[in-house]
Amino acid sequence: MARPETDRQFTMTEKTLIKNISIVNEGQITVADLFIENGLIHSIGQLIDHKNVKIVDGTGKYLFPGIIDGQVHFREPGLTHKGDLYTESKAAIAGGVTSFIDMPNTLPNVLTIDILNEKYQIASKKSLANFGFLLGVNGDNLDEIIKLETSKLLGVSDDGLYFTKKGNLLADNPETMEKLFANCKSIIAIHSEKEQIVEENENIYREKYGENVPIEFHPIIRSEKACYEATKRAIDIANKLKARLHILHLTTEAETHLFRNDIPLKEKNVTTEVSVHHLWFSDKDYKRLGTLIKWNPAIKTEKDKKGLLKALLDDRIDIVTTDHAPHTLDEKQKSYFQSMSGAPIIQHSLNIMLEFFKQGLISLEKIAEKMCHNPAILYGIENRGFIREGYYADLTIVDLNSSWTVDKNNILSKCGWSPLEGTTFQTKVTHTFVNGNLTYDKGNFDETKRGLSLSKSN
Ligand SMILES: [Zn+2]
C-alpha cells in the first residue's frame, strides 16, 4: 500500500544527502558528503546512501554556510509598496542568504519592544529566511531603552531613523551617545555621518544648482570628512565607556584606519562592515546609473573602493552586508534632493563577492568568513553561520561556472529593478537550504516552511 502523500513529503524534506561537494568552511575547502536530518547538519564525511533520502549531487559545486546578512531594510510594516518580508526574503534566498537582520526604520519606527515584537510576529508568518530585528534608538526613546535588559537584545540601531526625523542621528549627538554607550549592553549599530557637515555642503550645492544638483556631487556633499569625523568621535566615546559599538556600512578608505586587526573579532568592542555596493561601484558609475546608485553614505572614489576591500581582507572590516533597501523606480528617478537613497541588492551579494574571487581578489574561504562565520560571531547568533554537525542546516550551493545576466525578468525584489541590470555574473546559486528545507532549487521555491527567529548564543 502506498504511504500517505504527507508522510512521503515529510521524509523528502527532512532528510537530504548532499553528495561529493566542496565544502567551504572555517578556512578550508574539503570534498565530502553532508547529511541533513530534522533541520540540522547531522553528519559530514564520506557517507553511504541512506534510504528514503533526497539526494543532491554536489559534484563540481561548492557548499557555503547560508549567508547571514547583517543589515537589510525589508520595509514591513508600513512601507510595503517597496518590499515586504515575503518578497525580500525570497530574493535573499535566491541569492544564498538564509538569515537577515532588519533595521528599525519601518513604519512606525521600531522604538518600543511592542513594535519590535510585532515585527517578529509578522516575520514568523511571512519570511522564508531566518530573521532578527534591531530595536531603534534615538533621542526620543533613549531613557526607555536604557531601562531595558539590553543584554538580551540582538542590538539597537539608529539606522534610517533620520529619514523620519532630522537631527536624530546618534553620531550627531555626543551627549546622547555618551548616555547610551554607558548604559547599553547590546551591540549599538550606528549610521555614521555628521549631518551638520552634510547640510553645509547641501546648501553650497543648492545655491549653485537649485534642486537639480548633479548626482556626481553626492559623495562630495556626503563627504569623507562627514564620515570620518563621525566615526572617529563614536569610536573614541565607545572606547572610553567600553561600549559595544558597530559602525554600519563603512565607505571611506580614511575610516578603515580607525579599526583594529590585532585582536580576534570576539574580543573587539568596536567592529564594522562594508556593504557590497561600496565594493562594487565607485563614483565613476554615477554618470551611467545616476540616482539609481544614490546611497547614504554615498558611493565614493576608486581609492575608497580599493581601500575598503583591503581592509576587509586584513580584518579591519569584519563583515559584508547589503543594506538591501528597495524603493520603487519612481522614488529613485527624481531630482537629486528628492530621489530616495538605497537600492535592492541582496539577491546578488554573493554573486558580487564571487566575481571578486574570479578576479583573484579574494578567496572562497574569506568570503565564507566575512558573509557567514563573522556575522554569526559579531551578533552572537546561535548555531548558525558555520558548517558543523549539530548546527542548523542553513546551506548554499553555488556553481562557479555558470553565467547569467541580471534583468527585470529574474529580479525577485518587489520593486522589480536593480542597479545591476545588464550585469553578467559568472557564478550562480543553485540550491539554498533554510533549516534543512530545500527552499530554493534551481529557480524553484518550496514555500511550505517559514524561517525562524535568530537566537542569541549568550
Ligand atoms: Zn541601512
- Of 345, 378, 411, the residue at which a domain comes to its end is 378
Same structural domain, 58 and 72: no
Between 113-126 and 85-94, two packed helices, what is the crossing angle to 10 degrees? 60
Query: Is the domain of 360 the same as that of 345?
Result: yes
Residue 5 pLDDT: 39
| Residue 10 reports pLDDT greater than 80 | no
Any idea which of 48-57, 221-230, 441-450 has the lowest mean pLDDT? Answer: 48-57
Q: Over 60: is that where the pLDDT of 412 sits?
A: yes
The answer to whether residue 340 is domain-embedded is yes
Same domain, 97 and 145: yes
Gap from CA of 75 to ligand 1 centroid (Å) = 11
| Average pLDDT value for residue range 406-431 | 98
Find the 277 Cα to ligand 1 centroid distance in Å: 12
Residue 77 has pLDDT above 60, yes or no: yes
Query: For residue range 179-211, what is the model confidence (pLDDT) as tens digits?
Result: 999 999 999 999 999 999 999 999 999 999 999
Q: Could you tell me if 91 and 234 lie in one domain?
A: yes
Statement to judge: residues 133 and 178 lie in one domain: yes
Whether 454 is covered by a domain: the verdict is no
Domain of 76, CATH number, reads 3.20.20.140
- Tell me: do 216 and 270 sit in the same domain: yes
Residue among 442, 332, 457, 329 at smallest CA distance from 396? 442
pTM of the entire structure?
A: 0.95
pLDDT value at residue 458: 66
102 CA → ligand 1 middle, Å? 9
Q: Quick one: three-class SS letters along the chain?
A: CCCCHHHHHHHHHHEEEEEEEEEEECCEEEEEEEEEECCEEEEEECCCCCCCCEEEECCCCEEEECEEEEEECCCCCCCCCCCCHHHHHHHHHHCCEEEEEECCCCCCCCCCHHHHHHHHHHHHHHCCCEEEECEECCCCCHHHHHHCCHHHCCCEECCCHHHCCCCCCHHHCHHHHHHHHHHCCCCEEECCCCHHHHHHHHHHHHHHHCCCCCHHHHHHHCCHHHHHHHHHHHHHHHHHHCCCEEECCCCCHHHHCCCCCCCCHHHCCEEEEEEHHHHHCCHHHHHHHHHHHCCCCCCCCHHHHHHHHHHHHCCCCCEEECCECCCCHHHHCCCCCCCCCCCCCHHHHHHHHHHHHHCCCCCHHHHHHHHHHHHHHHCCECCCCCCCCCCECCEEEEECCCCEECCHHHCCCCCCCCCCCCCEECCEEEEEEECCEEEEECCEECCCCCCCECCECC
Residue partners of 143: CB distance under 8 A and separation at least 6 = none
In a domain, 456, yes or no: no
**Over residues 306-313, mean pLDDT:** 98
Query: Omega before 77 cis (within 30°)?
Result: yes
Q: Please tell me whether residues 50 and 132 are part of one structural domain.
A: no
Q: 163, 130, 437, 140: which is closest to 325 by C-alpha?
A: 163
Mean pLDDT of 327-337: 97
Expressed in angstroms and rounded, the spacing between residue 370 Cα and the centre of ligand 1 is: 18
Q: How far is the CA of 57 from the centre of ligand 1 (A)?
A: 38
Q: What is the CA(23)–ligand 1 centre distance, in A?
A: 31
Does the pLDDT of residue 165 top 80, yes or no?
no
Residue where a domain stops, chosen among 378, 403, 426? 378
Task: Say how many Å lie between the CA of residue 72 and the centre of ligand 1.
Answer: 6
Q: What is the CATH number of the domain that holds 26?
A: 2.30.40.10
C-alpha 160 – ligand 1 centre gap (Å)? 6
> Could you tell me the residue range of the domain that residue 9 belongs to?
5-63+390-445
Centre of ligand 1 to C-alpha 250, Å, is 11
Q: Output the CA 323–ligand 1 centroid distance in Å.
A: 5
Residue 148: inside a domain: yes
User: Of the candidates 329, 344, 378, which is a domain's last residue?
Assistant: 378
Instruction: Please give the distance, rounded to the nearest whole angstrom, from the Cα atom of residue 284 to the centre of ligand 1.
Output: 23
Beta bridge partners of 162: none
Mean pLDDT to the nearest integer, 142-155:
95
Distance 39 CA to ligand 1 centre (A): 31
pLDDT at 7 over 50: no
Q: pLDDT band for position 52 (50/70/90)? A: confident
Q: pLDDT tens digits for 79-129?
A: 999 999 999 999 999 999 999 999 999 999 999 999 999 999 999 999 999
Rounded mean pLDDT, 154-164: 86
Residue 452 resides in a domain: no
**Gap from CA of 43 to ligand 1 centroid (Å):** 37
Give the distance (Å) from ligand 1 centre to CA of residue 325: 7
Residue 385, domain member (yes or no): no
Same domain, 335 and 405: no
Lowest mean pLDDT, pick from 1-5, 127-131, 390-394, 405-409: 1-5
CA of 157 relative to ligand 1 center, distance in Å: 10
In whole numbers, what is the pLDDT of the chain averaged over residues? 94
Mark whether 176 and 203 lie in a shared domain. yes
The total number of structural domains in the chain stands at 2
From ligand 1's centre to the CA of 156, what distance in Å? 13
Residues 315, 328 contacting (CB under 8 angstroms): no
Domain-embedded: residue 201: yes
- The reply to whether 37 and 79 lie within a common domain is no
Do 198 and 261 lie in one domain? The reply is: yes
Tell me if 457 is assigned to some domain.
Answer: no
Confidence of residue 169 (pLDDT cuts 50, 70, 90): confident
Same domain, 75 and 216: yes
- Assess contact for 141 and 89: CB atoms under 8 A: no
